[in-house]
Amino acid sequence: MSVATLDLSRIAPAFADPVRESQAVFREVMECMARPGRVTRFDRAPMAPNGLGKAAGAVALTLFDFETLVWLDPALADSEAEAWLRFHCGCPLTTKAQDAAFAIVTDMAKAPNLAAFNQGDAKYPDRSTTVILQIASLEGGPVVTLSGPGIQTTTDIAPQGLPQDFWTQIETNQAQFQFGVDVLLVASDQLLALPRTTTAQIKGG
Amino acid sequence: MNTPVPARANAPERYYNYAYLDEQTKRMIRRSILKALAIPGYQVPFGSREMPVPYGWGTGGIQLTAAIIGPDDVYKCIDQGADDTTNAVSIRRFFANVADVATTEDTGEATIIQTRHRIPEKPLKEGQVLVYQVPQPEPLRGLEARETETRAMHAYEEYGLQYVSLYENVSAYGRIAATAGYPVMVEERYLMSPSPIPKFDNPKMAQNEAVMLFGAGREKRIYAVPPFTRVRSLDFEDYPFETQTWEETCALCGAKDSYLDEVILDDAGDKMFVCSDSHHCAERRAAGHVGPMAGHTLDQDAALKEPAQ
């Protein structure tokens, strides 16, 4: 979508009070990143356009700007969601997963492997991609037990709608520490974090 | 708890954005914090800004606090354990002014505790964030001056030089001589400076329930230790890590297990030992604990108080 054809009437509003709301969202995301598996809810976040949930939208409004190259799911190409992100965050978009600081994946059936994103540099592992995976629900799926830094003993999660080999990808990702992507699982207005340090075990698996 | 009534966030008399930093700077710092939490103990470079205090006065910690603080937070700031020292009072007033937060000296009721060189005696809990002010984030800097080299040493987990340094300590002094800023290993991967906290506080870092963030403003680095994370102070099997102990008790509250500062009282060499954690000491005295010099005001000689290491 070019600037000339940008139709402002089609762009949904973002945070009403960007300073306060982005701070509140960040604190929740920070607690989730510090405590993998902890589920938080952004029920007061603005409605994001079609294809994006409230949680994915809130994270984008809080963390994206002109400094962050964002890989957007091809399913959202030329969508209202893309225009919304461009307008409110001012973030440049890329189709090269390897270059992305953040990625938003909405079509799990065609989701790229986590290894396709930037894994970071040996000296600068912080340069890896933070992958926002939007799935059906954070509840009701197969139970997975998490452990690692931020978790006292273990904690159980049950996300629904992840690809078959997702937990194998997470295992590979965790095993190559200090390299690796950090994952934010979002569904509607809910979010949980799976940083690269987290070990996952499918219950009964 | 003190609840200030400053100007509204967007009032014209307020010359700064909420919490002083502009939003783009906060986003940059927030992104760095998330990566720091994902890679415990690893130093994330960030675009440190000039702050209205000189380097060395807590610019790293102030920037971290500014990036995370919200109007619902209760803010505590300590310097060498004390709430009432110049640096702590100034920074506490700063955030009461620019971030509309309630401030407190009570460790238990604070949600953000910014600290220079101590971890409070009272165990921290979930929901609290401990923000450390860090002068030198690189534990290897004293051994290797080049950033390019130390970064490679962290990348490839080349920490032999650190152990040689500790061994040289043992051969020269018969023990590992470091008493503050004693290096730690985080999750058995990254060597980390705990900031110049006394080694007495090192064990409190391990499996702590609070989120711990470290900010070095001049050196432009942020790092973090998530809750429930393994933090090990380096040592040798035959020279195990030990913390400081005192034969004295706190002169005011009688505490036997807190970190004590030695305070010179007069030119004749009289002295007393008191808790470095001023809130811990006050809370114990309020609960009826009495030390050998209880009731001493410290007033007439307060100016002679020695800075603790």
Which tokens is B131 given? 């923000």
B282 by Cβ neighbours in 10 Å (0-12 / 13-18 / 19+) ranks as: middle
Q: What is the mean pLDDT of residues A10-29?
A: 95
What does the DSSP assignment read for B88-109? HHHHHHHHHHHS--EE-S-TTT
Question: How far is the alpha carbon of B131 from chain A, nearest alpha carbon, in Å?
Answer: 14
- Residues in chain A closer than 8 A to B155 (CB atoms): 122-123, 178
A115-119, B2-6, B242-246: which has the minimum mean pLDDT? B2-6
Alpha helices by DSSP H, B125-192: 147-155, 160-173
Dihedrals φ, ψ of B80, to 5°?
55, 35
pLDDT for position A10: 83
Nearest Cα residue to B66 out of B43, B50, B84:
B50
Q: What is the mean pLDDT of residues A47-71?
A: 96
Which tokens is A74 given? 């091809």
Dihedrals φ, ψ of B236, to 5°?
-120, 155
What does the DSSP assignment read for A107-139? -GGGPPPGGGS----SS-GGGSPEEEEE-SBSS
Decide if A107 is inside a domain. yes
Dihedrals φ, ψ of B168, to 5°?
-60, -35
Number of domains within chain A: 1
Decide if A65 is inside a domain. yes
Decide if A5 is inside a domain. no
Decide if A1 is inside a domain. no
Question: How far is the alpha carbon of A31 from chain B, nearest alpha carbon, in Å?
Answer: 8
Q: Which of A15, A19, A129, A196 to mutate to test the interface with B (most CBs of B within 10 A)?
A: A19
SS3 state of residue A43: coil
The ipTM value here is 0.97
pLDDT for position B303: 47
B17 in contact with chain A, both atoms CB, cutoff 8 A:
yes
Numbered residues of chain A with Cβ closer than 8 Å to any chain B Cβ = 18-20, 22-24, 26-27, 29-31, 33-35, 62-65, 67-68, 101, 122-126, 128, 130, 149-152, 177-178, 182, 195-197
Question: How far is the alpha carbon of B252 from chain A, nearest alpha carbon, in Å?
Answer: 37
Decide if A79 is inside a domain. yes
What does the DSSP assignment read for A143-196? -EEEESTT-SS-EEE--BS--TTHHHHHHHHHHTTTS--EEEEEETTEEEEE-T
B196 pLDDT exceeds 50?
yes
pLDDT for position B69: 98
Q: What is the mean pLDDT of residues A54-67?
A: 98
**What CATH number corresponds to the domain at position A70?**
3.40.50.11310
Q: What is the mean pLDDT of residues B12-37?
A: 91
Decide if A8 is inside a domain. no
Q: Write the single-letter amino acid at A186.
A: V
Decide if A128 is inside a domain. yes
How much is the pTM?
Answer: 0.94
pLDDT for position B300: 53
Alpha carbon B195 to its chain's center: 7
Contact pairs from chain A to chain B, CB under 8 Å: 111
C-beta separation of B172 from B166 below 8 A: no
DSSP-assigned beta bridge partners for residue A105: A133
Residue count of chain B: 309
Decide if A4 is inside a domain. no
pLDDT for position B12: 60
- Rounded Cα–Cα distance for residues B229 and B7 (Å): 40
A5 pLDDT exceeds 70?
no
pLDDT for position A51: 87
Q: Which of B8, B14, B23, B30 to mutate to test the interface with A (most CBs of A within 10 A)?
A: B30
Nearest Cα residue to B186 out of B68, B60, B37, B32:
B37
B189 pLDDT exceeds 50?
yes
pLDDT for position B309: 43
pLDDT digit string (tens) for A92-113?
999 999 999 999 999 989 989 9
Range of the domain at A163: 14-202
With an 8 Å Cβ cutoff, are B70 and A126 in contact?
Answer: no
